[in-house]
Amino acid sequence: MHEFELVIENGTLVDPERNKITVGNLGICRGRIVAITREQLSGRQHIDAGLAVVCPGFIDIHTHVDNGLDGAYAMLKQGVTTAVGGNCGMGTGDMAGFFQPFEYGGFPIHQLMFAGESFTLREKAGIVNPYQPATAEQIRQIAYLAEEALEQGAAGISFGLEYAPGTSFEEIAAVSRVAARYGKLVAIHTRHDGWAGLGAIKEAIDVTRLTGAAVQVSHLVYMVGMGMMADAIRLLQEAVDSGLDITADSGMYHAFATHIGSAVFAAGCVEKWECQYSDLLVCTGPFAGERCTKELYEELRSNYPEELVVAYVGKEADIYTALAAEFVMVSSDGGLGSFIPGTGHPQNVGTFPRFFQTMVRERQQLSLLEAVRRCTLLPAGRLGLKNKGRLKVGCDADLVIFHPARIKDCAAYLGDGRPDAEPAGLECVIVNGHIAVRQGELGAAVSGRSMKVENRCWNWM
């Protein structure tokens, strides 16, 4: 009898591609699924799933992991086996330098990388002030840098328009046309949040309409989760129905976190969000755990611009409204910040468990199959990953085993609990055929790699 490297027995196998749930065993060799059967298999290592769910590893399309080990381990512990970094216009501009250390393994999870436009490429083109528009020559230069990054394996281009208010539509369109030629994604953290966020979503729709680029609208709940989500989803649904190549992602928390020194927290933000200074909670650095006053806000803006602050400005119901739409995938926005134990944002470790806990079990808004599709096959299709996000012979053995009745986010905002508390109900995470996490304990293998994305065409539907 053939001996596999790893056998998973008695799994409730959730396959989002065939849209089927069956019970069976998996045989894994050299990082691939090589057998799916009801027959008994023999392996060097066995995991008895005990009828827990076995599904493809989660793919997080919106993170800031960017070669950061702490962020990657947090992802892994919530079942993410592939994360896309370089979002919101941030991240390294040096693609070769990004891929080199982990191209053949050695990272906890697999990662893809966007080239960040709003910070990185703009700065490389000599634009130091985010409020400054690019000249025609600088736009040409940015488009050239974008092309170079795509040639070197970037999965797409990301914008953080809210962080770089000087960005013209012309600049966005020039870069997006390059991405369209490569058949790669343009991820857009839109220009405004709150009520102005609806107009900003129209701008993102215009990007795909006018350039033909495939657009991914980033972390919806953090942009339009302040009571206008239903309107935002309606706009996006109309765009999807009219055949435009646009999808979106959204998180599981209604309070976002970003750098206090950024344009997001510019003077007037409290008035814009119709909130109080005390709705801003410092979550990293020497003031971690403190609520803002006007004085502390100004002190942080001037002297601690890199610290992360959580803004309690969202409405919980908008989380669920966003994720009800079939074109919305789950994303964490995780990986930013310093990862000092006991600080940070719960999204780093709790997003995907919270998705199954609330959307499937507590609210019964999504079937288990549909929920798995949103975390696996849908982002895989969007990123052109043909061997991930599927439970099929020949596909990559990146897998999650979890208990649907028990999976639970245990992390909480600072002040309410530990932001880095690990989730419950996850049995095992397998990366590239190796056990990476088992019952919360890290395995010895570090077999994830940085993946270059080749030119390609695909269709998400």
Kindly list the residues in this chain that would bind Zn ion in the complex (CB under 5 A): 88, 189
Which letter does DSSP use for residue 62 in this model? Answer: S
CB 380, CB 392: distance < 8 Å: no
Question: Minimum CB separation from Zn ion for residue 197, in Å?
Answer: 12
- In the complex, minimum distance from the CB of residue 356 to Zn ion, in angstroms, rounded to a whole number: 24
Report, in Å, the least distance between residue 313 CB and Zn ion. Answer: 15
CA 376 to chain centroid, in Å, comes to 12
Compute the least distance from the CB of residue 333 to Zn ion, in Å: 6
Rounded Cα–Cα distance for residues 145 and 210 (Å): 21
Amino acid, res. 284: T
Nearer to Zn ion, 110 or 189 (CB): 189
Q: Which is nearer to Zn ion, 28 or 90 (CB)?
A: 90
Q: Which is nearer to Zn ion, 194 or 389 (CB)?
A: 194
Name which of 165, 166, 171 is nearest 157 in CA terms. 171
Rounded to a whole number of angstroms, the minimum distance from the CB of residue 190 to Zn ion is 9
Q: Whose Cβ is closer to Zn ion: residue 189's or residue 390's? A: 189
Distance between CA atoms of 336 and 339, rounded to whole angstroms? Answer: 8
CB closer to Zn ion, 147 vs 171: 171
Pick 117 or 147: Cβ nearer Zn ion: 117
87 versus 176: smaller Cβ distance to Zn ion: 87
Closest CA to 82 of 370, 356, 406, 384: 384
Q: How far is the CB of 163 from Zn ion (least distance, A)?
A: 8
Please, what is the minimum distance in Å from the beta carbon of residue 219 to Zn ion? 6
* Min dist. Cβ of residue 19 to Zn ion (A): 32
Q: How far is the CB of 160 from Zn ion (least distance, A)?
A: 6
- What CA–CA distances, in Å, run from 437 to 1, 89, 180, 235? 28, 31, 38, 40
Alpha carbon distance 215, 397 (integer Å): 28
Cα-Cα-Cα-Cα dihedral sign, residues 111, 52, 425, 14: positive
Which CB, 208 or 332, lies closer to Zn ion?
A: 332
Of all residues in the shown chain, the one whose CB is closest to Zn ion is 88
In contact, 246 and 185? CB cutoff 8 Å: no
Question: Are residues 436 and 76 in contact, defined by beta-carbon separation less than 8 angstroms?
Answer: yes
Q: Which is nearer to Zn ion, 119 or 304 (CB)?
A: 119
Place of tokens 């895989």: 380
**Cβ at position 130, least distance to Zn ion in Å:** 14
Beta strands in 64-174 (DSSP E): 80-85, 110-116, 156-160
For residues 324 and 318, give the distance between their C-alpha atoms in angstroms, rounded to a whole number: 10
Using the minimum distance from each CB to Zn ion, give the nearer residue, 200 or 397: 200
CA 43/CA 458 separation, integer angstroms? 36
* Sequence-ordered list of residues with C-beta below 8 angstroms from that of 351, at least 6 positions apart, any chain: 60, 78, 251, 252, 253, 330, 331, 332, 334, 409
Burial class (CB in 10 A: 0-12, 13-18, 19+), 65: buried
> What are the C-alpha distances in Å from 409 to residues 186, 312, 352, 423?
30, 19, 8, 5
Q: How far is the CB of 63 from Zn ion (least distance, A)?
A: 10
Residue 329 tokens read as 């995938």
Work out whether strand 80-85 and strand 110-116 pair parallel, antiparallel, or are unpaired: parallel
User: What are the angstrom distances between the C-alpha of 316 and each of 364, 394, 413?
Assistant: 16, 40, 14
CA distances from 99 to 106, 107, 179, 180 (A): 12, 11, 19, 23
CB nearer Zn ion, residue 64 or residue 388: 64
**Residue 82 in contact with residue 109, Cβ under 8 Å?**
yes
